[in-house]
Amino acid sequence: SQTIHQWPATLVQPVGSPLSLECTVEGTSNPNLYWYRQAAGRGLQLLFYSVGIGQISSEVPQNLSASRPQDRQFILSSKKLLLSDSGFYLCAWSDIPSGRPYYEQYFGPGTRLTVT
Protein backbone atom coordinates (compact mmCIF):
# COMPACT_ATOMS: atom_id res chain seq x y z
CA SER A 1 0.00 0.00 0.00
CA GLN A 2 1.01 3.59 -0.49
CA THR A 3 1.99 5.92 2.31
CA ILE A 4 3.05 9.54 2.39
CA HIS A 5 5.32 11.05 5.00
CA GLN A 6 5.93 14.65 5.92
CA TRP A 7 8.28 16.12 8.45
CA PRO A 8 8.53 17.88 10.69
CA ALA A 9 5.00 17.86 12.09
CA THR A 10 5.38 21.30 13.67
CA LEU A 11 7.94 24.02 13.22
CA VAL A 12 8.50 27.44 14.74
CA GLN A 13 10.93 29.63 12.81
CA PRO A 14 11.94 33.29 13.09
CA VAL A 15 11.35 35.73 10.28
CA GLY A 16 14.22 35.70 7.82
CA SER A 17 15.31 32.16 8.57
CA PRO A 18 15.45 29.43 5.89
CA LEU A 19 12.93 26.63 5.52
CA SER A 20 13.06 23.07 4.29
CA LEU A 21 10.05 20.75 4.44
CA GLU A 22 10.31 17.24 3.12
CA CYS A 23 7.72 14.88 1.73
CA THR A 24 8.24 11.28 0.64
CA VAL A 25 5.87 8.75 -0.84
CA GLU A 26 6.20 4.99 -0.58
CA GLY A 27 4.56 2.19 -2.52
CA THR A 28 4.14 3.90 -5.87
CA SER A 29 6.32 5.08 -8.70
CA ASN A 30 6.27 8.28 -10.75
CA PRO A 31 3.49 9.89 -8.72
CA ASN A 32 2.28 13.42 -9.27
CA LEU A 33 3.28 15.44 -6.21
CA TYR A 34 1.78 18.62 -4.79
CA TRP A 35 2.42 21.22 -2.11
CA TYR A 36 -0.55 23.08 -0.64
CA ARG A 37 -0.74 25.74 2.05
CA GLN A 38 -3.73 26.30 4.28
CA ALA A 39 -4.08 29.39 6.47
CA ALA A 40 -6.07 28.95 9.68
CA GLY A 41 -9.71 28.28 8.86
CA ARG A 42 -9.14 28.79 5.15
CA GLY A 43 -9.08 26.78 1.96
CA LEU A 44 -6.31 24.89 0.23
CA GLN A 45 -3.93 27.00 -1.81
CA LEU A 46 -1.91 25.06 -4.39
CA LEU A 47 1.73 26.17 -4.28
CA PHE A 48 3.62 23.74 -6.54
CA TYR A 49 3.08 20.52 -8.36
CA SER A 50 5.37 18.09 -10.12
CA VAL A 51 4.67 15.41 -12.70
CA GLY A 52 8.23 14.04 -12.70
CA ILE A 53 11.77 14.40 -11.39
CA GLY A 54 13.02 17.94 -11.88
CA GLN A 55 9.66 19.12 -13.25
CA ILE A 56 8.10 21.79 -11.07
CA SER A 57 5.12 24.00 -11.82
CA SER A 58 4.57 27.04 -9.65
CA GLU A 59 1.06 28.29 -9.08
CA VAL A 60 1.66 31.30 -6.88
CA PRO A 61 4.61 33.74 -7.05
CA GLN A 62 6.17 33.97 -3.60
CA ASN A 63 9.39 33.47 -1.71
CA LEU A 64 8.97 29.69 -1.69
CA SER A 65 10.49 27.15 -4.05
CA ALA A 66 10.12 23.43 -4.58
CA SER A 67 12.38 20.69 -5.82
CA ARG A 68 11.98 17.04 -6.71
CA PRO A 69 15.41 15.45 -6.50
CA GLN A 70 14.08 11.89 -6.55
CA ASP A 71 10.97 10.23 -7.94
CA ARG A 72 9.17 10.04 -4.62
CA GLN A 73 10.67 13.01 -2.79
CA PHE A 74 9.31 16.55 -2.85
CA ILE A 75 10.93 19.40 -0.95
CA LEU A 76 9.56 22.86 -0.15
CA SER A 77 12.11 25.54 0.64
CA SER A 78 12.54 29.19 1.41
CA LYS A 79 15.68 31.25 1.80
CA LYS A 80 14.02 33.84 4.05
CA LEU A 81 10.71 33.25 5.76
CA LEU A 82 8.06 35.95 6.07
CA LEU A 83 5.37 36.22 8.73
CA SER A 84 2.81 35.53 6.00
CA ASP A 85 4.39 32.13 5.39
CA SER A 86 2.79 30.78 8.56
CA GLY A 87 0.26 28.06 7.88
CA PHE A 88 -0.43 24.39 7.49
CA TYR A 89 1.62 22.87 4.68
CA LEU A 90 0.26 19.77 3.06
CA CYS A 91 1.97 17.47 0.61
CA ALA A 92 -0.16 15.25 -1.59
CA TRP A 93 0.32 12.64 -4.28
CA SER A 94 -1.77 11.13 -7.03
CA ASP A 95 -1.50 8.95 -10.05
CA ILE A 96 -3.70 8.61 -13.07
CA PRO A 97 -5.07 5.07 -13.34
CA SER A 98 -5.20 3.96 -16.92
CA GLY A 99 -8.72 3.79 -18.31
CA ARG A 100 -10.20 5.86 -15.50
CA PRO A 101 -11.28 9.48 -16.00
CA TYR A 102 -10.28 10.82 -12.62
CA TYR A 103 -7.81 10.54 -9.83
CA GLU A 104 -7.80 11.07 -6.11
CA GLN A 105 -5.23 13.07 -4.25
CA TYR A 106 -3.82 11.58 -1.07
CA PHE A 107 -2.59 14.01 1.54
CA GLY A 108 0.21 13.70 4.05
CA PRO A 109 -0.25 14.58 7.73
CA GLY A 110 0.97 18.15 7.18
CA THR A 111 3.48 20.50 8.78
CA ARG A 112 2.23 23.34 10.93
CA LEU A 113 4.62 26.25 10.46
CA THR A 114 4.61 29.29 12.70
CA VAL A 115 6.86 32.17 11.69
CA THR A 116 7.59 34.49 14.61
Partner 1 sequence: GQSLEQPSEVTAVEGAIVQINCTYQTSGFYGLSWYQQHDGGAPTFLSYNALDGLEETGRFSSFLSRSDSYGYLLLQELQMKDSASYFCAVRDPSGNTPLVFGKGTRLSVIA
The binding site for partner 1 (CB under 8 A) comprises 32, 34, 41-44, 46, 49, 51, 90, 94, 96, 101-110
Q: Which is nearer to partner 1, 19 or 49 (CB)?
A: 49
CA atoms of 93 and 25, how far apart (whole Å): 8
Q: Which is nearer to partner 1, 54 or 101 (CB)?
A: 101
CB of 43 to partner 1, least distance (A): 4
CB of 99 to partner 1, least distance (A): 13
Q: Which is nearer to partner 1, 43 or 61 (CB)?
A: 43
- Burial label for 100, CB within 10 Å (0-12, 13-18, 19+), is exposed
Q: Where are the alpha helices (DSSP H) in 11-112?
A: none
CB of 16 to partner 1, least distance (A): 27
Nearest to 69 by CA among 87, 54, 48: 54
Ordered DSSP codes for 3-35: EEEEE-SEEEE-TT--EEEEEEEES-SS-EEEE
Q: Which is nearer to partner 1, 12 or 15 (CB)?
A: 12
